[in-house]
Structure 1
């Protein structure tokens, strides 16, 4: 058995989680949504939770050694989070990322000391996942978090994010709306919410151009971090009531609206979540309490269509 290695948690990692829940009132639509402000995690996204959980679990189980390298395929946010936690704990991090991901994500990973290897995503996330497994099979220094199938991903959201929402909403939630990359957030939060209220509705936001849950073929879209041409195993465990399709155009328009009308400088997947959540709230009525997620900050999208008027 490998010796257990547990490195101290630096103060920055204590900032992960316990994010505020922000009420957002949309006057024109006459609806108020409740948004979990995950962009306030220290590296700027909800994925900080996953990174800390998986790395500390690996430490406890003796899976990390002095010369270990944390290796993961990601659209960007998980890579940034792993690089941050790795830096805080002293581990090397290598990230495989699609060459279509925004360049800012690469820079942030490298700023934390991680290394980035780009690949052409001919089979969506599946391409990079296969590459990580091949690399790990040839070199036992690599540790794979396996975010798309690691049960800890959903479990951590169930035990923390979901319970935070329940406490902040005083146990009253009619619907939860979130996109899916790994499926961890929607699966874990859905479990926690249903344990308190079995009638709560769970809706999966997905790009209209890549509506796989709706039975359509994946195609190009501009909502980074979700529906990467791959239905992750964790998502198959989620009890989803219905998908909600959102176009890239609608997502970008709402993301800009959140910044300019509400001072919420968030990324495109956050805008897409809000579009979907507003539709659900309009269906459920003005008194409905609908919760969604503001996944990450906008700065990592500067080179994308979100900022196209300024590029």
Structure 2
């Protein structure tokens, strides 16, 4: 008999190490293999406490993969049925892992995360929708826990850099860091092929929507650059100091470099680390994170 709560209690308190002078939180060390375990557990438990999630309900979420895996694991532990809606074109391993946890996976139009989000809205009866792109519990979790862990491990922080998917990590951790280090720079990372924040001159500016004729092209940094600006970022636009764009090929190149150093991580980790190395030219104390494991991208042949 598995002690259900014992596995949930292993979420968080991940290792914090220095790699080439950059402080890195190894979020792939969470039990399902990604940072999203933190949010999934927190949102499910908050929903239970507030009566939004009850016995017999389905948990229905849109995701490119990692969030779906995390919710599938938490639901398996807690006895909820889980429905994951995701765009076609994501790594095959992600879909397989969700299904292994017992989740039902529904695929929508290729590379269209917004299509997946819209599809979840059709589930109305006995369904709880976490809605990660707009749920305030997402950044609150990162501020309370991940941010606190980073501050306990790093004495001085000049800059924190993270890829933007939902924006929960950058906003939540950023708020925690700013309370202790008000002048710390908060930097967003996005794919060069989908520079939504950059094209809108987003950092420290008011968002006015997409430039006319702008299109978000397909890219290979799964988990960030989903083709729209999430509500969590819109509501915290003044928090971001700058945006760094990273090409898919460069993120993958850095993934291979990190693998040879012992860190088998996914493309978003490569993007975060490359962005952090750029910041190291200007700042002494830079913090980032490796969000997920590289093993869920093996079918995409990103490793040499």
- Aligned pairs for 1:156-195 (under 5 A) are 156-170=141-155, 172-195=156-179
Range 48-57 or range 125-134, more displaced: 125-134
CA distance in 1, matches of 2:17, 2:233: 26
CA distance in 2, matches of 1:101, 1:21: 29
Describe the superposition over 1:244-286 as per-residue Cα deviations: whole angstroms up to 9, x where unpaired.
Answer: 01111110000010011x20111110011000010011133xx
CA distance in 1, matches of 2:42, 2:113: 22
In structure 2, which of residues 158, 180, 183 is the aligned counterpart of residue 199 of structure 1? 183
> After TM superposition, where is structure 1 displaced by more than 4 Å over at least 4 residues in a row?
none
CA distance in 2, matches of 1:195, 1:304: 40
Deviation at 1:22, TM superposition (A): 1.0
Describe the superposition over 1:173-200 as per-residue Cα deviations: whole angstroms up to 9, x where unpaired.
Answer: 0000000110000000000000111100
Describe the superposition over 1:70-94 as per-residue Cα deviations: whole angstroms up to 9, x where unpaired.
Answer: 0000000000000000011111100
| 1:251 matched residue in structure 2 | 251
CA RMSD of aligned residues (A): 1.3
CA distance in 2, matches of 1:64, 1:273: 34
2:263 is paired with a residue whose SS is: coil
CA distance in 2, matches of 1:160, 1:12: 17
CA distance in 2, matches of 1:276, 1:193: 18
| 1:306 matched residue in structure 2 | 302
Q: Does 2:204 correspond to 1:209? A: no
- Aligned pairs for 1:76-95 (under 5 A) are 76-95=65-84
Gaps of at least 5 residues in structure 2 are 200-213
| 1:19 matched residue in structure 2 | 14
Deviation at 1:121, TM superposition (A): 4.3
Aligned length: 286
1:22 is paired with a residue whose SS is: strand
CA distance in 1, matches of 2:183, 2:301: 38
Deviation at 1:12, TM superposition (A): 0.7
CA distance in 2, matches of 1:142, 1:210: 32
Gaps of at least 5 residues in structure 1 are 1-7, 26-31
CA distance in 2, matches of 1:130, 1:86: 22
CA distance in 1, matches of 2:16, 2:231: 28
| 1:224 matched residue in structure 2 | 222
Q: Is the 8 A contact 1:70 1:93 kept in 2?
A: yes
Q: Does 2:290 correspond to 1:294? A: yes
| 2:205 matched residue in structure 1 | none
| 2:278 matched residue in structure 1 | 279
- Aligned pairs for 1:41-60 (under 5 A) are 41-60=30-49
| 1:5 matched residue in structure 2 | none
Q: Is the 8 A contact 1:73 1:132 kept in 2?
A: yes
Deviation at 1:125, TM superposition (A): 1.8
CA distance in 2, matches of 1:244, 1:63: 38
1:67 is paired with a residue whose SS is: coil
Q: Is the 8 A contact 1:79 1:109 kept in 2?
A: yes
CA distance in 1, matches of 2:279, 2:252: 19
| 2:269 matched residue in structure 1 | 270
Describe the superposition over 1:36-78 as per-residue Cα deviations: whole angstroms up to 9, x where unpaired.
Answer: 1000000000000000000000110112222110000000000
